[in-house]
Amino acid sequence: MNLITENCDAVINSRPSTDYMVLMRPSLAKKVERLEPIQKSEMGMVVRKGNEALAAEINKALAELHADGTYDAIEKKWFGQTSWQIH
């Protein structure tokens, strides 16, 4: 909000959050300068220790979403681009 109201000179934010904010408020695009990441981070899901069956199902579903292009389509719809990778 500080960026929107111009109450600050700079903000540090996650790329997905910033991409979504710009997608929802296109006028912000002229205010956003994309810099190199300060650090790379990965996201993950947490499954109760010992629940290998659930972890395997989640990993299988994610792999299928990536393989058939669904993951990229969802990402493009909500963030306007595809740039994330599964590891």
State the pTM of this model. 0.51
pLDDT digit string (tens) for 38-85? 666 666 778 888 899 999 999 999 899 989 999 888 888 877 766 544
Q: Which one is predicted more confidently, 87 or 83?
A: 83
Boundaries of every domain in the chain: 1-34, 53-87
Instruction: Taking residues 24-49, report their average pLDDT.
Output: 75
DSSP 6: T
H-helix or E-strand containing 21? Answer: helix 15-24
Instruction: Give how far the C-alpha of residue 43 lies from the chain's centroid of Cα atoms, to the nearest Å.
Output: 9
